[in-house]
């Protein structure tokens, strides 16, 4: 089942204040066959997810509910997991809606959450996952929903899957605390530091645990944790995070301290404007895509069915996130310009067949350059 091309003509929201990088984003290089595939049970699972949200009173008022649903988390989840067992997808939907309520609070751009509070909140969340009933999280609807999620998750996942999900959650919260501390100190990270953290910032392993579980993917630990597989996984996460930095740019361009994203990091390091840094940011993202495709082909050459399924879900992750963010009201009609989300808003993205930067060499960014070292034939196309 595929998503039809975006032909909607509904207003895209208030764009009278321009975006520093422009509303028309550069074409996306994404030669992945599953681009736009969505899970066939999406509509029914979304209905159940909304019932769960309202049953827990996750949002305090209609406006917050509208913006919470503007994340379009049900659609995101169904694009990221376009096939597989529906109950795992359903749990992933619930976690995404819940996580966005936390992410908006922890977001460094809030300029209100001190790093100490972020670290404290993260510890309490992880302990609630590891030790149900530990009562470390403060009382309230978000905590009540968390306890329900923990109970459901522990009943559904195997011990190994649960451990990986907990570690993925810790990884995401750890990176969020780092980002918050940067904002607190008014410190824009250098490109190398940001590139090394961005895979964690977007919760790559938080998400992929559910993709693997839904699709019955269970690579042996020594294979999953091998350098080449980790490089392919990180490259996919880097691409997704870089794309999010483009889609969410206008949502955060009102902040007194600029948001930490790939464009702003490069602009700060090079002494350029965001518009001038955009091409380099997209070029680095495209080089990561070229690397991902090469690593994917290298790992697929062995013909192992489980590996092929894992590589496919990494591709779903990249492709699905573009389709989702293109039309999610959270990004396409951002809150800093619109009193309420605008249904039908879209970036109307386009795609390109070749990378904007054709280089196949490792970039001069040590934190990620090791990915290229995992290629067995570095000179191969």
Model pLDDT for residues 260-315, shown as the tens digit of each residue: 999 999 999 999 999 999 999 999 999 999 999 999 999 999 999 999 999 999 99
**Is residue 364, in this structure, part of any structural domain at all?**
yes
**Is residue 164, in this structure, part of any structural domain at all?**
yes
Domain that holds residue 151: 29-341+353-374
Q: What is the pLDDT of residue 120?
A: 80
How many domains would you assign to the chain? Answer: 1
Contact 165, 157 (CB under 8 A): yes
**Is residue 22, in this structure, part of any structural domain at all?**
no
**Is residue 332, in this structure, part of any structural domain at all?**
yes
Return the DSSP state at 21. Answer: T
CATH of the domain at 119: 1.10.600.10
- Name the more confident of 142 and 65: 65
**Is residue 167, in this structure, part of any structural domain at all?**
yes
- Assign 143 a pLDDT band (cuts: 50, 70, 90): confident
**Is residue 333, in this structure, part of any structural domain at all?**
yes
- Name the more confident of 125 and 304: 304
Q: What is the CB neighbour count within 10 angstroms for residue 225?
A: 11
Quote the pTM value.
0.93
Contact 379, 366 (CB under 8 A): no
Contact 324, 76 (CB under 8 A): yes
Q: What is the DSSP string of 128-148?
A: HHHSTT---SPSSHHHHHHHH
Q: What is the pLDDT of residue 70?
A: 96
**Is residue 346, in this structure, part of any structural domain at all?**
no
Q: Which residues of 229-268 are buried (b: 16+ CB within 10 A; e: fewer)?
A: bebbbbbbbbbbbbbbbbbbbbbbbebebbbbbbbbbbbb
**Is residue 10, in this structure, part of any structural domain at all?**
no
């Amino acid at each position: 089942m595929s998503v039809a091309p975006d032909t909607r003509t509904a207003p895209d929201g208030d764009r009278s204040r321009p975006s520093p990088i422009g509303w028309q984003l550069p074409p996306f290089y994404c030669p992945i066959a599953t681009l736009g595939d969505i899970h066939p049970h999406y509509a029914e699972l979304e209905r159940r997810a909304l019932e769960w949200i309202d049953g827990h009173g996750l949002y305090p008022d209609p406006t917050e509910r509208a913006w919470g649903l503007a994340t379009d988390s049900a659609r995101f989840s169904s694009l990221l997991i376009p096939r597989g067992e529906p109950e795992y997808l359903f749990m992933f939907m619930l976690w995404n809606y819940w996580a966005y309520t936390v992410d908006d609070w922890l977001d460094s751009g809030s300029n209100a959450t001190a790093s100490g509070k972020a670290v404290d909140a993260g510890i309490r969340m992880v302990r609630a996952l590891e030790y149900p009933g530990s009562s470390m999280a403060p009382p309230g609807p978000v905590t009540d929903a968390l306890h329900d999620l923990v109970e459901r998750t522990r009943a559904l996942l195997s011990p190994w899957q649960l451990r990986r999900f907990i570690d993925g959650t810790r990884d995401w919260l750890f990176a969020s605390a780092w980002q918050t501390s940067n904002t607190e100190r008014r410190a824009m990270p250098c490109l190398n530091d940001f590139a090394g953290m961005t895979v964690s910032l977007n919760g790559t392993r938080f998400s992929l645990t559910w993709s693997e579980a839904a699709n019955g993917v269970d690579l042996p630990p020594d294979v999953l944790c091998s350098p080449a597989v980790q490089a392919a996984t990180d490259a996919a996460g880097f691409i997704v995070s870089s794309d999010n930095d483009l889609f969410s740019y206008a949502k955060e361009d009102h902040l007194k301290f600029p948001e930490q994203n790939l464009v702003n990091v490069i602009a700060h390091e090079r002494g350029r404007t965001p518009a001038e840094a955009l091409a380099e940011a997209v070029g680095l993202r495209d080089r990561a895509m070229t690397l991902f495709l090469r690593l994917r082909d290298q790992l697929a050459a062995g013909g192992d069915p489980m590996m092929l399924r894992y590589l496919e879900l990494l591709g779903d992750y990249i492709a699905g996130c573009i389709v989702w963010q293109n039309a999610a009201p959270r990004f396409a009609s951002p809150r800093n310009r619109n009193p309420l989300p605008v249904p039908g808003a879209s970036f109307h993205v386009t795609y390109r067949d070749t990378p904007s930067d054709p280089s196949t060499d490792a970039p001069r960014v040590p934190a990620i350059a090791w990915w290229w070292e995992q290629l067995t034939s570095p000179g191969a196309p």
